[in-house]
């Protein structure tokens, strides 16, 4: 991904090939870049191009993994595995109430699960496996008694002393336990048993005998437990019977000696009578209180307001009659005088009724008084009888306490005896029953083929393991590779623009001219812009030239360009030559100077003489006139392109660049050419490029993708910066388009070049 500009903070951000987010800050007061890393996981699709580039490593590791796995399994002895399964149900501990007398009985889900796990361990116990070994005579078989195991062989190879010899049965027992596995099936009560052996028949026989012995051992253990319980209960019941008889005799003797009589098993006669007195006394007291309240009310309240008086039916009749007589008297009084016989007769009747009414009221009051006196008398009598009965019960209480103690002892002994008698009967029935909670679900059968070694599984595991190793190596190599690989990487690290990306010749030529472009003669590539005009390799130089010209348009005086690279072999001469050809094709007068006076190559590329050249001009002590310079500069077959060869080489050639003659020469060439390109040596090993760069308008770095390291590129950029030399940008040379995840071959993307006639080349 190319760097992107953040307008708010003037930062460049990019996502490098190792999946880390990086921020590059633009040059600012001597600090031209800053790197920060945010550890974010690389998207999965970003790994795909990496794996494609390392496909041969992954494929080789996969093949080696499969081959190693197959070679490892071929010499192994075939192992057969027999399988059997048994059902282990929770034993009914409460069957015939045996749980009440079994001290080891437990209940609950946790107890059931613990019981199941215990039975699994019993299946693998040395005792049970030993019984199988004895029945099958496995201690006589060599494969079980051989002591040459892996540990013994390693001890022998390392020269270590062997441990003491074990008995044959012990070795057979250890071998059988090692080859035996028992595990429970989840959410079931079924245990799956497996046994490995080199003999298929023996593997099946071992599991069948193990299942049989396990069922027998389970029955024997249950039988011994019930028989022991029954024997213990029989001894205890005899003692309980004697103890019960003694306690009953003592209770009866004590009751007769103290005259204690009981209406039931708990209450005596005196206590029953006391409760009756207490109930009657409570009733009498309540009745007396009621009668007393009525009596006190008659004494303190008007007679006419009493409830007994108001509610009495006879008094209501008297009142009705009096009301009627008073009405009649009032009616006659308005017509007759009081002395009239009818008025007097009615008056006499009123007086009689009033007297009778008053007498009846008095009778009601006397009755209330009599009821109160009777209730009070009855209460006092009951209190006297209750007090006498309390004294009687108190006298017998001490005797009753001891009696109750003796009675509880009798009850306890009777309950123990009855419970023990019932348990003895149940234990006898249980001991006679040979019930088992273990059932063989699947008996072992003779396996038809070995399960180890599994060649297919081993090959698959080897395939996966080898593939993982290959992928890991490829990714690790990619992450640790410090070489610049993709376009945009160098722009981030250097903080300078990328002027163009030149693909490798194998990617950039059209199908019609591929064979010529990859001609072993190097100058066919170095003159590709002139020789192979319709190739994409050539088009990339025109694109790069456009970037350079647009960059120069901001500074019209930028005429002298210096091309260099951090290290040798990074293609600076090829790039400089092709860019000079591209400039000549756009009607520019171009001078190409071979500034590498140690290993000059431009004269051989253009088939020119290298007799006088640049070094000769710099050695001139006289004034450089135009005739000498024009005679030194040579024409090429390309219109608009001239070449100044390097001239003869010598040991002190680089010293010539420090002279004033170099400045004079370059300044004298400017008026005659539109663009001057100087091809210089690698700048990290030699200082020529730095010296000429101070005399030029700008410098262009050539970085070879897949070869130039980021450290070398940064070092080159820093040296030019320290010299105060402007670096226009860099050119990514020999770029591999297939590294991009969205790569499409150039031939497919620009197939129009394939359709052009060959004579246009």
Average pLDDT over residues 202-227: 83
692 vs 12, 63, 596, 621, 659, CA distance in Å? 31, 54, 11, 20, 11
- Angle (deg, nearest 10), helices 126-136 and 168-179: 110
At residue 11, the pLDDT reads 40
Q: Is the dihedral of CA 178, 179, 180, 186 positive or negative?
A: positive
Choose the weakest-confidence range: 564-573, 612-621, 739-748.
739-748
Distance (Å, rounded) from C-alpha 732 to C-alpha 708? 10
> Which sequence spans correspond to the domains of the chain?
1-41, 50-73+453-479, 80-225+436-442, 269-432, 559-740
Distance (Å, rounded) from C-alpha 81 to C-alpha 450? 7
Say which residue the tokens 């007498």 belong to.
359
Instruction: Answer with the residue of higher pLDDT: 306 or 697.
Output: 697
Distance (Å, rounded) from C-alpha 132 to C-alpha 730? 83
Instruction: Answer with the residue of higher pLDDT: 148 or 603.
Output: 603
Distance (Å, rounded) from C-alpha 656 to C-alpha 693? 15
What percent of the chain stands above pLDDT 70? 71
Distance (Å, rounded) from C-alpha 593 to C-alpha 677? 6
pLDDT class of 565 with cuts at 50, 70, 90: very high
DSSP string, 362-402: HHHHHHHHHHHHHHHHHHHHHHHHHHHHHHHHHHHHHHHHH
In degrees to the nearest 10, what's the CA dihedral of 462, 466, 469, 475?
-140
- The neighbour count for residue 245, using CB atoms within 10 Å, is 13
589, 672 contact by CB (below 8 A): yes
Choose the weakest-confidence range: 33-42, 254-263, 269-278.
33-42
At residue 46, the pLDDT reads 67
**DSSP structure class, residue 601:** -
Task: Tell me the β-bridge partners of 590.
Answer: 641, 675
pLDDT class of 713 with cuts at 50, 70, 90: very high
Residues sharing a CB contact under 8 Å with residue 401, sequence separation 6 or more, in sequence order: none
316, 357 contact by CB (below 8 A): no
- Kindly tell me if the per-residue pLDDT of 3 is higher than 50: no
**DSSP structure class, residue 167:** P
- The neighbour count for residue 332, using CB atoms within 10 Å, is 17
Instruction: Answer with the residue of higher pLDDT: 90 or 79.
Output: 79
pLDDT tens digits, 105-115? 555 556 778 88
pLDDT tens digits, 659-692? 888 888 888 888 889 999 999 999 998 888 999 9
Average pLDDT over residues 121-149: 81
Average pLDDT over residues 443-466: 87
Average pLDDT over residues 311-330: 74
Instruction: Answer with the residue of higher pLDDT: 406 or 433.
Output: 406
Instruction: Answer with the residue of higher pLDDT: 9 or 250.
Output: 250
- The neighbour count for residue 517, using CB atoms within 10 Å, is 20
Distance (Å, rounded) from C-alpha 142 to C-alpha 516? 75
- The neighbour count for residue 527, using CB atoms within 10 Å, is 20
Strand bridging mode 641-644 / 590-594 = parallel
At residue 739, the pLDDT reads 65
At residue 9, the pLDDT reads 39
Distance (Å, rounded) from C-alpha 424 to C-alpha 229? 9
- Kindly tell me if the per-residue pLDDT of 500 is higher than 80: yes
Structure tokens at 66: 């499969």
At residue 577, the pLDDT reads 94
Distance of CA 333 to the CA centre of its chain: 117
526, 577 contact by CB (below 8 A): yes
Structure tokens at 499: 């002027």
At residue 243, the pLDDT reads 76
- Kindly tell me if the per-residue pLDDT of 428 is higher than 70: no
Say which residue the tokens 């019941």 belong to.
237
How many helices and strands in the chain, by DSSP H and E?
A: 27, 15
At residue 757, the pLDDT reads 38
DSSP string, 703-717: EETTTSBHHHHHHHH
DSSP helix/strand/coil, 743: coil
Q: In what order do the strands lie in the sheet with 698-704?
A: 498-503, 727-735, 698-704, 560-564, 675-679, 590-594, 641-644, 634-635
Distance (Å, rounded) from C-alpha 694 to C-alpha 650? 23
Say which residue the tokens 């992954």 belong to.
58
Residues sharing a CB contact under 8 Å with residue 693, sequence separation 6 or more, in sequence order: 562, 564, 680, 699, 720, 723, 725
pLDDT tens digits, 216-243? 888 887 777 766 666 777 777 777 777 7
Task: Tell me the β-bridge partners of 23.
Answer: 13
Q: Per DSSP, which regions of 145-200 are E strands?
A: 180-184, 190-197
DSSP helix/strand/coil, 356: helix
Helix or strand (DSSP H, E) at 550: helix 536-553
At residue 30, the pLDDT reads 36
- Kindly tell me if the per-residue pLDDT of 405 is higher than 60: yes
Cis before residue 453, ω within 30 degrees of 0?
yes
Structure tokens at 328: 């009649």
Structure tokens at 497: 């623009």
Structure tokens at 545: 């030239």
At residue 160, the pLDDT reads 66
pLDDT class of 573 with cuts at 50, 70, 90: very high
- Kindly tell me if the per-residue pLDDT of 564 is higher than 90: yes
CATH fold for domain 559-740: Rossmann fold (3.40.50)
Distance (Å, rounded) from C-alpha 444 to C-alpha 441? 10
pTM of the model: 0.49
704, 569 contact by CB (below 8 A): yes
Q: What class has domain 80-225+436-442?
A: alpha beta
pLDDT tens digits, 19-67? 444 434 333 333 334 344 444 455 666 677 778 878 888 999 999 999 9
Average pLDDT over residues 485-491: 78
At residue 719, the pLDDT reads 93
443 vs 207, 325, 506, CA distance in Å? 8, 119, 70
Choose the weakest-confidence range: 130-134, 137-141, 338-342, 576-580.
338-342
Question: Which alpha helices (DSSP H) does 433-496 contain, by range?
Answer: 455-480, 489-494
172, 133 contact by CB (below 8 A): yes
Structure tokens at 607: 């088939």
Structure tokens at 397: 């209480």
Instruction: Answer with the residue of higher pLDDT: 751 or 329.
Output: 329
Q: What is the largest CA-CA distance in the chain?
A: 194
Distance (Å, rounded) from C-alpha 451 to C-alpha 82? 10
pLDDT tens digits, 623-665? 667 777 888 899 999 999 999 999 887 767 667 888 888 888 8
Rg from Cα positions in the chain: 62
717, 592 contact by CB (below 8 A): no
At residue 36, the pLDDT reads 40
At residue 285, the pLDDT reads 78
At residue 703, the pLDDT reads 93
Distance (Å, rounded) from C-alpha 198 to C-alpha 218? 30
- Kindly tell me if the per-residue pLDDT of 743 is higher than 60: no
Average pLDDT, the chain: 75
Residues sharing a CB contact under 8 Å with residue 438, sequence separation 6 or more, in sequence order: 86, 87, 88, 89, 119, 214, 215, 218
- Kindly tell me if the per-residue pLDDT of 700 is higher than 90: yes
Average pLDDT over residues 549-561: 68
683, 690 contact by CB (below 8 A): yes
- How many residues make up the chain in this entry? 761
Q: Which 3-state string (H, E, C) describes 80-100?
A: EEEEEEEEECCCCCCHHHHHH
């Amino acid at each position: 991904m190319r760097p992107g500009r953040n307008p708010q903070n003037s930062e460049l951000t990019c996502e490098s090939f190792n999946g880390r987010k990086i921020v590059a800050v633009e040059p600012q007061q001597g600090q031209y870049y800053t790197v920060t890393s945010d550890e974010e996981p690389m998207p999965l699709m970003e790994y795909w191009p990496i794996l494609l580039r390392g496909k041969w490593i992954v494929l080789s590791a996969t093949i080696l993994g499969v081959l190693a796995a197959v070679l490892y399994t071929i010499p192994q002895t075939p192992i057969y595995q027999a399988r059997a399964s048994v059902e282990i149900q929770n034993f009914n501990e409460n069957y015939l109430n045996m749980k009440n007398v079994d001290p080891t009985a437990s209940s609950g889900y946790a107890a059931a699960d613990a019981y199941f796990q215990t039975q699994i361990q019993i299946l693998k116990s040395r005792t049970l496996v030993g019984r199988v070994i004895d029945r099958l005579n496995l201690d006589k078989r060599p494969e079980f008694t051989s002591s040459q195991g892996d540990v013994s062989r390693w001890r022998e190879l390392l020269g270590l002393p062997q441990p003491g010899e074990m008995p044959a049965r012990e070795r057979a027992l250890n071998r059988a336990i090692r080859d035996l596995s028992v595990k429970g099936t989840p959410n079931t009560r079924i245990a799956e048993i497996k046994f490995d052996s080199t003999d298929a028949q023996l593997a099946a026989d071992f599991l069948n005998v193990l299942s049989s012995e396990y069922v027998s051992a389970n029955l024997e253990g249950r039988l011994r437990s019930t028989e022991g319980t029954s024997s213990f209960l029989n001894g205890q019941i005899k003692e309980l019977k004697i103890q019960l008889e003694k306690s009953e005799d003592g209770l009866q003797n004590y009751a007769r000696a103290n005259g204690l009589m009981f209406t039931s098993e708990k209450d005596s006669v005196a206590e029953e009578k006391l409760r009756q007195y207490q109930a009657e006394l409570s009733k009498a007291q309540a009745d007396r209180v009621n009668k007393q309240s009525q009596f006190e009310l008659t004494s303190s309240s008007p007679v006419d307001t009493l409830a007994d008086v108001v509610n009495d039916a006879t008094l209501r009749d008297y009142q009705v009659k009096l009301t009627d007589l008073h009405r009649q008297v009032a009616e006659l009084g308005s017509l007759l005088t009081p002395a009239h016989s009818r008025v007097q007769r009615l008056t006499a009747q009123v007086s009689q009724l009033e007297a009778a009414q008053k007498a009846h009221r008095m009778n009601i009051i006397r009755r209330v008084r009599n009821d109160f006196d009777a209730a009070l008398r009855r209460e006092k009598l009951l209190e006297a009888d209750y007090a006498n009965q309390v004294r009687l019960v108190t006298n017998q209480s001490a005797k009753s306490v001891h009696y109750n103690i003796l009675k509880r002892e009798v009850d306890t002994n009777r309950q123990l005896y009855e419970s023990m008698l019932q348990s003895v009967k149940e234990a006898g029935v249980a001991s006679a029953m040979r019930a088992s909670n273990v059932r063989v679900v699947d008996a072992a059968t003779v396996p038809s083929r070995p399960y180890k070694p599994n060649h297919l599984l081993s090959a698959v595991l080897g395939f996966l393991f080898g593939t993982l190793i290959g992928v890991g190596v490829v990714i690790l190599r990619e992450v640790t590779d410090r070489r610049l690989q993709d376009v945009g990487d160098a722009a981030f690290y250097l903080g300078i623009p990328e002027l163009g990306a030149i693909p490798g010749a194998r990617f950039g030529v059209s199908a019609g001219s591929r064979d010529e472009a990859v001609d072993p003669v190097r100058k066919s590539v170095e003159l590709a812009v002139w020789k192979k005009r319709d190739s994409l390799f050539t088009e990339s130089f025109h694109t790069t030239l456009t970037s350079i010209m647009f960059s120069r348009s901001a500074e019209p005086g930028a005429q002298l360009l210096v091309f260099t690279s951090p290290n040798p072999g990074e293609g600076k001469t090829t790039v400089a030559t092709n860019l000079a050809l591209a400039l000549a094709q756009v009607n520019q007068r171009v001078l190409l100077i071979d500034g590498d006076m140690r290993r000059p190559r431009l004269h051989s590329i253009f088939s020119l003489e290298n007799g006088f050249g640049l070094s000769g001009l710099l050695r001139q002590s006289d004034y450089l006139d135009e005739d000498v310079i024009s005679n030194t500069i040579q024409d090429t077959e390309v219109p608009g392109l001239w070449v100044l060869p390097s001239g003869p080489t010598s040991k002190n050639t680089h010293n010539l660049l420090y002279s004033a003659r170099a400045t004079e020469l370059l300044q004298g060439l400017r008026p005659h050419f539109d663009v001057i390109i100087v091809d210089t040596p690698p700048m990290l090993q030699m200082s020529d490029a730095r010296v000429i760069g101070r005399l030029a308008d700008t410098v262009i770095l050539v970085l070879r993708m897949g070869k130039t390291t980021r450290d070398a590129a940064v070092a080159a950029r820093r040296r030019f910066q320290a010299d105060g030399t402007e670096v226009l940008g860099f050119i990514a040379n020999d770029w591999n388009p297939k590294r991009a995840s969205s790569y499409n071959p150039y031939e497919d993307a620009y197939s129009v070049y394939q359709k052009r006639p060959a004579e246009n080349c």
